Homo-oligomer: A and B are copies of this chain.
Amino acid sequence: MATLGDVARRAGVSISAVSRVLSDAPGARVSVATRARIKQAAADLAYRPNFAGRALKFARTDVIALVVPDLTNAFATDLMLGVEDEAAARDHMVLLGRSEDLEPDGEMVSRLVGEGRVDGVLVQVADHRLPAELAPLVQAGHPLVFLNSFQPGHLGGAVLDDEAGARLATEHLIALGHRRIAHVGGLPQSFTARRRLAGFEAAMAAAGLPVPGTAVSRLGYVPADGRAALRRLMAADPPPTALVVANVNAALGVLAEARTLGIAVPADLAVVSVHDAWTAENTWPPLTTVKMPTYELGRAAVRALHERLGGGPGRDEVVADPPPRLVLRESTAAPR
């Protein structure tokens, strides 16, 4: 790998001249001839500025990290796109990390920011994590923006309007004529799960519909959780005629388990989920969902992080534009 010195030697000039030219230093007075010689030499040698050299000099990397529990979650696709687009617009690179095991001590984040590998981090905390577990991470005071949750004592978070999303899903079922509607929710400690449940309850209350204790499950966001939830909820007497599922992956499990139990969707049971994904198009029946502005969440999070990096105070933001939108497919219909 060629260095500035190599280029300088080849062009017959000093190192600083090369630096000035190649980094477009403002107000650098360099003759057209030398400038050309330098550019040529750099091209010949396929010169690229050394990352470590720059990082050391500037104490800045222009790299941010995005750490998510499960990168293969369809939720992450749009998020990553949003993060990358906004980062690119600010000439930053994005480094991706998994945090299935984001240790409570925040080792991963410390390694990233503490060792100066990146300037700041976007973290999506796994749903099963308790807020108390994250206290060390929060207290370390790193430039950090939480995705999908606000953390007590920490300013720097970007979340979706989960409540509006769940409300929209619920209202759709109510408009179809359903009255016995149940909720397949996430874990009680999950920030998003609590908000989605609140949205569900708000819509039910607004319509004057009861929500008995047997109409809410709070097991989690993976297909197996959806399966278990369905079995539990359908045991109620009378069983619900419709389901608001808090997460699209759990909804996949709900649909599969409904087939196993011989429950016809949407005839016997209407199903709508919060969050859209490509998988929802390929279920049977195709799944009606509420699409959340996940891409914009990514962009907003990067903006928030940059404010922090620029010395700002940090802030918590609910991403509400565009608002949640119903994607009508075939898993919902009026009750029999």
Q: Is the Cβ of B282 less than 8 Å from the Cβ of A49?
A: no
Given A72-B71, A115-B49, residue A256 in contact with residue B278 (CB < 8 A): no
Report the minimum CB–CB distance from A291 to chain B (whole Å): 16
Q: Is the Cβ of A98 less than 8 Å from the Cβ of B115?
A: no
A157 interface contact, C-beta 8 A:
no
Q: Is the Cβ of A114 less than 8 Å from the Cβ of B71?
A: no
Query: Cβ of A259: which chain B residues have Cβ within 8 Å of it?
Result: 284
Within 8 A of B (CB), among A26-65: 46, 48-53, 55-56, 61
Within 8 A of B (CB), among A70-126: 70-74, 76-77, 80, 84, 93, 95-98, 110-111, 114-117
Query: Cβ of A71: which chain B residues have Cβ within 8 Å of it?
Result: 71-72, 76-77, 80, 96
Query: Cβ of A116: which chain B residues have Cβ within 8 Å of it?
Result: 1, 50-52
Within 8 A of B (CB), among A247-266: 252-253, 255-256, 259
A223 interface contact, C-beta 8 A:
yes
Q: Is the Cβ of B278 less than 8 Å from the Cβ of A223?
A: yes
Residue of B nearest to A223 (CB): B282
Residue of B nearest to A71 (CB): B71
Among B1, B93, B111, B252, contact of A282 (Cβ-Cβ < 8 Å): B252
Query: Cβ of A286: which chain B residues have Cβ within 8 Å of it?
Result: 256
Within 8 A of B (CB), among A209-265: 223, 252-253, 255-256, 259
A133 interface contact, C-beta 8 A:
no
Report the minimum CB–CB distance from A15 to chain B (whole Å): 16
Q: In the complex the two chains form, what is the Cα distance from A223 to B77 in whole Å?
A: 16
Query: Cβ of A284: which chain B residues have Cβ within 8 Å of it?
Result: 255-256, 259, 284
A279 interface contact, C-beta 8 A:
yes
Q: In the complex the two chains form, what is the Cα distance from A157 to B52 in whole Å?
A: 28
Given A56-B53, A76-B72, residue A97 in contact with residue B98 (CB < 8 A): no
Report the minimum CB–CB distance from A79 to chain B (whole Å): 10
Residue of B nearest to A113 (CB): B1
Among B1, B49, B56, B283, contact of A256 (Cβ-Cβ < 8 Å): B283
Q: A51-B52, A51-B116, A256-B286 are in contact. List 15 more A-B contacts (CB 8 A).
A: A1-B114, A1-B116, A48-B115, A51-B115, A52-B56, A53-B56, A71-B76, A80-B98, A84-B98, A95-B95, A96-B96, A96-B97, A255-B282, A256-B282, A283-B283
Q: List 16 A-B contacts (CB under 8 A).
A: A1-B114, A48-B110, A49-B115, A51-B117, A52-B53, A52-B55, A52-B61, A71-B72, A80-B98, A93-B111, A96-B96, A96-B98, A223-B282, A252-B282, A256-B281, A283-B283
- Give the top 3 A-B pairs by smallest Cβ distance, nearest first: A96-B96, A52-B55, A52-B56
A contact residues vs B (CB 8 Å cutoff) = 1, 46, 48-53, 55-56, 61, 70-74, 76-77, 80, 84, 93, 95-98, 110-111, 114-117, 223, 252-253, 255-256, 259, 278-279, 281-284, 286
